[in-house]
């Protein structure tokens, strides 16, 4: 059926009936929201970032649906399921079981691939175990995550990693003079003292002059050797551990993906990595690799593009193997249907873009025959080129037409146009939002006077007067992933947009640019570390200064003004709330009666600066705090929060309550203080309402005007139209991409042929 057939909400198959009823919802910033959401329809929730969309759909409807579903299980099972607290609402009625496809990155460790994530590789393993010759054994014999199938040399990782000792140790320096260049083991650190304080080594002799015995002791130690080190807790004597032994234990025998981004990046600078010489990167042992189906090994199949693998498997007509092959083909066709046919099953999930990961999470639901469910999507168009949005729209309509209710939080006008029903939240963000400002059809929304309605009628204007570059940033002969010896000149001192369909090589190209400029400021889509104790004040590193100011003005110790330290309310331990675990029953969270949710002891709350307690300061918005503080370090960070469009956030608001768009921007706010550097941003419009994009572009312009070079990987045509320079990759994804198909200004792109980005920019500008 045509996508346009549902734009007015009047045609198209419908099943089911009735409404999901929400009464008096008060989660986060919601202000007694009541809604009747039609079942069996596609309902899109719109509104500016922070207006309350996610609070309605995820924190209220999804949580209550999952909570009630869990109640149907026996207590033994419920005790092992995730615990959901009853949302703050008067009533939720006529709910159906919810399946949530959220915005959290797929991530995954080095053993997680497209094949394992989608369970297609498991089917392929069964195929090889039943039909392959010579057989290596059961399906586990073809698993790189099982000892029966994994390569013994690399333990199924497909690559070997070793320390690069030429980088780690500067042999021309002494231990005391900084011979160990790996930061965690540097002189002065407690781990570095193990080497500078050892009686067995001369800390002032260049490492190059060490005897063979001394070098061996430095790297591997000797049983029974002791060393004395100093730390914050005092002085102690411990077992000496060789430099090589310590590095291997802490960083090689652990999964790097499980470490913090900062630690991971630090360690990788001191590693030498390559394909496993035993398996050639295939991850499997000799027996598994010797098995053939249609003349191909299982590693050959895993390396193929999905579209090519479909063709191979369709050629299997053996009566035993054909049913298994058909099951694999059906799963692979679902991957191809959502525009990811260029992926291979051996692609690590950690290397996927946000859009690719988001779509892969939906694959498992396409083959389901269940009906009467509620599918909930959080901005499913994240990472999608305008050319691919229609594929996502077809998916949503297919789920709806099977008899399901589909709820989508979305900003993309093309997805909004497909809706049967639209709920627009607002009118503003934070405390200024939390209300329903419109309900109706997409057509009626476009004619309304809401922020979303006004934005739907706007068209992007292409920048004509572009900046003159101040130099050039080169990427030469790039071959990462599918890039084909690409050489690109990025003009310096301007705003450059890197565009192209999903899988065309955009992120790979920008990664090459980052590798060529060690001082580049990279703001990617990785999630920020959040907890109930992390707040904008702590994340922006304002809280340390706030504590020092209160300590100086009141004459008390700084730790007293931390709800994570001495000043914490003893009843709630600084959380402001008390959560009661009732075993298999739903947990109950109540406001702390002792501090009334303010997190601090009474004696701390009595200490003030300019009439405000530390809790009063944490209750301030960023804008209010700018008028209160005169400390340059604090005001600079608060202005950055305002610059990224978050002046309404309070300093003490838990980061766990922020929307995806707000988290993306608060991460950006921590990186805005540099000048004269290269900024590399991966889809900074993620989670942004159309009205917020103008503010983001203005921010990017200010970064450029301060002497920086800004490069953004972006699909949003409003950003592309206002760039100074565009580098478009393609022409398609996977093996059909990896080439530069256009370089020039947005005005030149508007007239270019042979580029999907140019085609869609023309349609957006001209409205056709």
d(CA 227, CA 235): 11
Residues 471-529+659-766: name the CATH superfamily. P-loop containing nucleotide triphosphate hydrolases (3.40.50.300)
Give the residue-averaged pLDDT of 749-759. Answer: 95
Query: What is the number of other CB atoms lying within 10 angstroms of the CB of residue 726?
Result: 26
Tokens in use for 387?
Answer: 């050319």
Lowest-pLDDT range, 236-240, 350-354, 521-525? Answer: 350-354
The yes/no answer on whether domain 536-657 falls in CATH 1.20.1580.10 is yes
284: pLDDT confidence band, cut at 50, 70 and 90?
A: very high
d(CA 168, CA 243): 10
Position 11 scores a pLDDT of 42
Q: Which residues of 192-218 are buried (b: 16+ CB within 10 A; e: fewer)?
A: bbbbbbbeebeeeeebeebeeeeeebb
Position 583 scores a pLDDT of 53
Q: What region does 294 belong to: left with phi over 0, alpha with psi -120 to 50, or beta?
A: left
User: Residue 608: is its pLDDT beyond 90?
Assistant: yes
Position 642 scores a pLDDT of 87
CATH class of 3-105+352-456: alpha beta
Give the residue-averaged pLDDT of 579-592. Answer: 66
In the block, tokens 């198959």 appear at 13
Pairing of strands 234-239, 739-744: unpaired
d(CA 454, CA 9): 20
Q: What is the CA radius of gyration of the chain?
A: 29
Nearest to 128 by CA among 257, 320, 265, 275: 320
Nearest to 504 by CA among 355, 711, 306: 355
User: Residue 260: is its pLDDT beyond 80?
Assistant: no
d(CA 360, CA 336): 10
pLDDT tens-digit readout, 319-373: 999 999 999 999 999 999 888 898 999 999 888 876 788 788 877 777 778 899 9
Mean of the per-residue pLDDT values for the chain? 89
User: Residue 735: is its pLDDT beyond 90?
Assistant: no
In the block, tokens 């004509």 appear at 464
Judge contact between 537 and 618, C-beta under 8 A.
Answer: yes
Position 8 scores a pLDDT of 42
13: pLDDT confidence band, cut at 50, 70 and 90?
A: very low
Count, in order, helices (H) and strands (E) of the chain.
31, 23
Pairing of strands 234-239, 226-231: antiparallel
Q: Which long-range contacts (CB under 8 A, 24 or more apart) does 451-454 make?
A: 451/47, 451/48, 451/426, 451/427, 451/689, 451/691, 452/46, 452/47, 452/48, 452/416, 452/424, 452/426, 452/689, 452/690, 452/691, 453/424
User: Which range in 301-315, 345-359, 622-636, 656-670 is most confidently predicted, on average pLDDT?
Assistant: 301-315
User: Residue 626: is its pLDDT beyond 60?
Assistant: yes
Residue 150 class from Cβ within 10 Å (0-12 exposed, 13-18 middle, 19+ buried)?
Answer: buried
Share of the chain above pLDDT 70, in %: 95
Nearest to 56 by CA among 456, 378, 306, 486: 378
> What is the widest separation between alpha-carbon atoms in the chain?
85
d(CA 383, CA 709): 23
Output the CATH code of domain 161-275: 1.10.8.280
Query: What is the secondary structure of 647-704 as a DSSP string?
Result: TT-BTT--GGGS-HHHHHHHHHHTTTT--SSEEEEE-TTTT--HHHHHHHHHHHHHHH
In the block, tokens 């049983």 appear at 223
Query: What is the number of other CB atoms lying within 10 angstroms of the CB of residue 441?
Result: 17
Position 7 scores a pLDDT of 39
Nearest to 621 by CA among 638, 606, 644, 599: 638
pLDDT tens-digit readout, 648-701: 899 999 888 787 677 878 888 888 877 889 999 988 888 788 988 888 899 999
Nearest to 127 by CA among 341, 345, 328: 328
d(CA 667, CA 523): 8
* CA atoms within 13 A of residue 604's CA, in its CB half-sphere: 26
**Same fold? 114-158+277-337, 536-657:** yes
In terms of pLDDT, which residue wins out, 128 or 564? 128
User: Residue 9: is its pLDDT beyond 70?
Assistant: no
Q: Domain ranges for the chain, please list them.
A: 3-105+352-456, 114-158+277-337, 161-275, 471-529+659-766, 536-657
259: pLDDT confidence band, cut at 50, 70 and 90?
A: confident
Output the CATH code of domain 114-158+277-337: 1.20.1580.10
pLDDT tens-digit readout, 92-124: 999 999 999 887 767 667 889 999 999 999 999
């Amino acid at each position: 059926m045509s996508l346009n057939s549902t734009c007015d909400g009047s045609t198209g198959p419908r099943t089911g009936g009735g409404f999901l009823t929400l009464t008096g919802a008060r989660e986060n910033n919601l202000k007694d929201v009541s809604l009747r959401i039609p079942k069996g329809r596609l309902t899109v929730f719109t509104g500016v970032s922070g207006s309350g969309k996610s609070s309605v759909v995820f924190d209220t409807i999804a949580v209550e649906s999952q909570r009630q579903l869990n109640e149907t299980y026996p207590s033994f099972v419920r005790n092992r399921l995730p615990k959901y607290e009853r949302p703050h609402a008067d009533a939720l009625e006529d709910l159906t079981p919810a399946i949530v496809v959220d915005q959290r990155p797929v991530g995954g460790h080095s053993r997680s691939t497209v094949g394992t994530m989608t369970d297609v590789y498991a089917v392929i393993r069964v195929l090889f175990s039943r039909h392959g010759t010579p057989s290596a054994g059961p399906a586990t014999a073809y698993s790189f995550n099982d000892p029966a199938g994994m390569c013994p040399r690399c333990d199924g990782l497909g690559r070997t990693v070793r320390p690069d000792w030429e980088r780690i140790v500067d042999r021309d320096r002494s231990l005391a003079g900084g011979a160990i260049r790996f930061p965690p083991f540097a002189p002065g650190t407690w781990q570095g003292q193990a080497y500078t304080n050892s009686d067995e080594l001369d800390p002032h002799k260049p490492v190059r002059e060490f005897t063979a015995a001394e070098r061996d002791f430095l790297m591997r130690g000797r049983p029974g050797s002791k060393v004395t080190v100093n730390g914050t807790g005092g002085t102690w004597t411990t077992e000496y551990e060789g430099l090589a032994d310590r590095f291997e234990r802490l960083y090689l025998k652990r999964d790097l993906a499980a470490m913090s981004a900062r630690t991971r990046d630090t360690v990788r600078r001191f590693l030498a990595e390559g394909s496993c010489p035993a398996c050639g990167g295939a991850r499997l042992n000799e027996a598994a690799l010797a098995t053939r189906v249609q003349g191909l090994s299982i590693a050959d199949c895993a390396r193929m593009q999905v579209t090519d693998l479909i063709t191979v498997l369709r050629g299997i007509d053996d009566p035993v193997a054909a049913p298994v092959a058909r099951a694999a083909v059906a799963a692979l066709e679902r991957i191809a249907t959502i525009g990811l046919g260029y992926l291979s099953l051996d692609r690590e999930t950690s290397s996927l873009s946000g859009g690719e990961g988001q779509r892969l999470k939906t694959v498992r639901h396409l083959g389901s025959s269940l009906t009467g469910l509620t599918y909930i999507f959080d901005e499913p168009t994240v990472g999608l080129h305008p050319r691919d949005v229609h594929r996502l729209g077809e998916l949503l309509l297919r789920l709806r037409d099977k008899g399901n209710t589909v709820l989508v939080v979305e900003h993309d006008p093309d997805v909004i146009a497909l809706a049967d029903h639209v709920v627009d939240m607002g009118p503003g963000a934070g405390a200024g939002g939390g209300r329903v400002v419109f309900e109706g059809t997409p057509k009626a929304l476009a004619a309304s006077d809401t922020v979303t309605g006004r934005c739907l009628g706007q068209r992007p204007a292409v920048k004509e007067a572009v900046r003159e570059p101040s130099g050039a940033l080169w990427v030469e002969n790039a071959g990462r992933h599918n890039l084909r010896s690409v050489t690109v000149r990025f003009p310096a001192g301007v705003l450059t947009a890197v565009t192209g369909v999903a899988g065309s090589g955009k992120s790979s190209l920008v990664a090459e640019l980052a590798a060529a400029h060690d001082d580049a400021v990279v703001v990617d889509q990785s999630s920020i570390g959040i907890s109930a104790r992390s707040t904008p004040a702590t994340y922006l590193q304002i809280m340390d200064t706030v504590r020092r100011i209160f300590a100086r003005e009141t004459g008390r110790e700084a730790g007293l003004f931390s709800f994570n330290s001495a000043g914490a309310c003893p009843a709630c331990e600084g959380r402001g709330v008390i959560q009661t675990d009732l075993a298999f029953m739903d947990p109950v969270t109540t406001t702390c009666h002792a501090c009334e949710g303010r997190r601090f002891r009474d004696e701390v709350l009595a200490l003030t600066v300019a009439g405000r307690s530390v809790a009063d300061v944490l209750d301030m918005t960023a804008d209010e705090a700018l008028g209160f503080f005169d400390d340059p370090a604090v005001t600079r960070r608060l202005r950055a929060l305002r610059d990224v469009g978050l002046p309404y956030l309070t300093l003490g608001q838990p980061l766990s309550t922020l929307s995806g768009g707000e988290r993306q921007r608060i991460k950006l706010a921590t990186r805005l203080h540099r000048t004269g550097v290269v900024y590399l941003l991966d889809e900074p419009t993620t989670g942004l309402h159309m009205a917020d994009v103008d503010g983001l572009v203005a921010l990017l312009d200010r970064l450029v005007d301060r002497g920086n070079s800004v490069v953004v990987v972006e699909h949003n045509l409003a950003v592309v139209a206002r760039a100074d320079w565009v580098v478009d990759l393609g022409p398609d994804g996977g093996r059909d991409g990896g080439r530069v198909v256009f370089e020039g200004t947005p005005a030149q792109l508007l007239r270019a042929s042979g580029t999907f980005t140019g085609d869609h920019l023309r349609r957006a500008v001209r409205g056709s």
